Amino acid sequence: MSSHSIAFIGTGVMGRSMAGHLLKAGHPLHVFNRTKAKAQPLLDAGAHWHDTAGAAAAQADFVFTIVGFPADVEATYFGPGGVLASARPGAVLVDMTTSSPLLARRIAEAAAAKGLSALDAPVSGGDVGAREARLVIMVGGDAAAFARAKPLFEIMGKNIILQGGPGAGQHCKMANQISIASIMMSWCEALTYAQRAGLDPARVIESIGGGAAASWSLNNLAPRALKGDFAPGFYVKHFLKDMRIALESAEAMQLDLPGLKQAKKLYDEVASRGWEESGTQALLKLYQAQA
């Protein structure tokens, strides 16, 4: 694959590993992050620092963004001197933040008006998937732009599917988060029950983690939680953001999703106890506190 100049905006828990894979594959990398220290490992490996998202975008054939909230996406793309105002003609813009499907469509329309292509490509797999380049990448947008970006996606992930037009990647990610919301409750309840019954929850996972009750969350996040490791592979505050977007999207489609509503209620309680900067496995603490 030929080398492409790449801008990567957002070098947090996920973005730092993702950008690192692109750099290691031989692509010149231009980075911006609100906190420069979080980009330092990439700079030490040869990436170029820029003081704004727009300045990084101006150097690149492909612009990847993975920031926190829809408001951050909006500012990054539409703000003064932002990505849309600064990107090279013909560049492909790829937002990998989990964000609003409506905002993804707005970005795609604005990009097309400027001779740019835009894809929404949220990911699943958490910090481990990012480090191991095994992310699931759900993509919405133009098929030709997807074909151009796919070799770069393949450096960061293993399961890469174009779901449809602009916004389709975000809708797929909402389906992912809706499923995870109930799965997180399920293993927390199962292990809380097991503990109350006098069982060793770690041994319970050994039994049920390979059968019909198995899930990635049970086998990866539950053991962390049992060891008291609540470091964020994925922040509670970001999961709450995702659930808000999913509920808003469901309401717009006149869907009632009771499992999602209950998970949101529980995670609101997790956040109210001061754990919003923890990983999503902190939900177990809430169950243990109630038990």
Q: What is the dihedral of CA 95, 101, 105, 108, to 10 degrees?
A: 10
Would you name the residues annotated as active-site residues?
Answer: 173
Calculate the CA 278 to chain-centre distance: 15
